[in-house]
Amino acid sequence: MKHFLEISQLNQFEIESLIQRALDFKAGKTIPSYPRQAVAALFYENSTRTRISFELAAGQLSMPFIDVNPETSSESKGETIQDTLLTLNTMGIGLFVVRHQQNNLPGMLAEELAHKDIHIINAGDGCHAHPSQALLDMITIIEQKPRLSELKVVIVGDILHSRVAGSLQMMFKTLGVAELKLVSPTIWQPEHVQFGSTSTNLSESLEGADVVICLRVQKERIAKSEHLDLQEYQKHYMLNNEHLKKARPDVMIMHPGPVNRGIEISAELVDSQQSFILKQVQNGVFARMAVFDALIQSNYN
């Protein structure tokens, strides 16, 4: 694995190896030390969880971590992102964690810089993919419910624009999850899905669910271009205790964050015993350690 760009690039064995690697790190098994493997983070969109967990993961592996702020870097003087990466690479940085609003920008960088000793890690690109989020979500599920061939998962929210939903579809498909329901108002339903089936009815879809993943309502998107009544959304799609009566009693409640309490999920459920939202954040550090480790190990294979 030279780059970590999207879940569809990985086969079942590769995903399971990453999950096991992360769980081994979490269990306190030997942690390698890579002081000569420097990593730079280039975040063109805001982030709390992803950027900081990549930084903590690098710290755990003794990797120097450089946070490149696009607003104060020389990109503000017209330098291209490709030239920025080449400049940093010649100083000895080989791993680049990139978040960008443009679909497939990390993939394009990987192609354009293929002749260089550079690893690109996609930390979320547009509406396309967020593979490390899918990895940490899967780790969180497997810790509680490892029998994936019996698992029913529901994802509710803006399925059409969600890079998390895209990566999770590929993750669940590759690992053989039994059933996936993708629930959203009609305006956010994709024409085609990679895995699972779509529905507009949350209560019905939750029948027998083992896991429900709420997606963030991107209020900035609604404000700009889409005609979605937020109150109507809350009325039909905000996850609450009433909806959960249909799900299994031990249903896991998940959310990639950041959470809008009282919009996509009731505040009460965010803090409930069934909520794994903070567990997801915690697992994010181990998932990202596993990604760094796998990429560095690929240099030796």
The interface mask with ligand CP, positions 8-47, x = CB under 6 A, is: ---------------------------------------x
Closest approach, Cβ 140 to ligand CP, in A, equals 12
Residues 112-131 that bind ligand CP (CB under 6 A): 124
Pair 257, 216: CB distance under 8 Å:
yes
Closest approach, Cβ 47 to ligand CP, in A, equals 3
Which one, 89 or 167, has the nearer CB to ligand CP? 167
| CA–CA gap between residue 280 and residue 255 (Å, rounded) | 8
Give me the long-range contacts of 111-115 (CB less than 8 A, separation at least 24).
112/82, 113/82, 113/85, 113/86, 113/89
- When binding is defined by CB under 6 A, the residue of 257, 286, 288, 292 that contacts ligand CP is 257
- When binding is defined by CB under 6 A, the residue of 258, 267, 268, 297 that contacts ligand CP is 258
- Starting from the edge strand earliest in sequence, which strands make up the sheet with 211-214, in order? 197-199, 179-183, 152-156, 211-214, 252-254
Residues 260-299 that bind ligand CP (CB under 6 A): none
Amino acid, res. 196? G
- Starting from the edge strand earliest in sequence, which strands make up the sheet with 38-43, in order? 65-68, 38-43, 93-100, 119-125
| CA–CA gap between residue 208 and residue 135 (Å, rounded) | 24
- When binding is defined by CB under 6 A, the residue of 8, 16, 34, 49 that contacts ligand CP is 49
Is residue 157 a contact residue for ligand CP (CB under 6 A)? no
Residues 212-251 that bind ligand CP (CB under 6 A): none
Applying CB under 6 A, the residues found at the interface with ligand CP are 47-50, 124, 133, 256-258
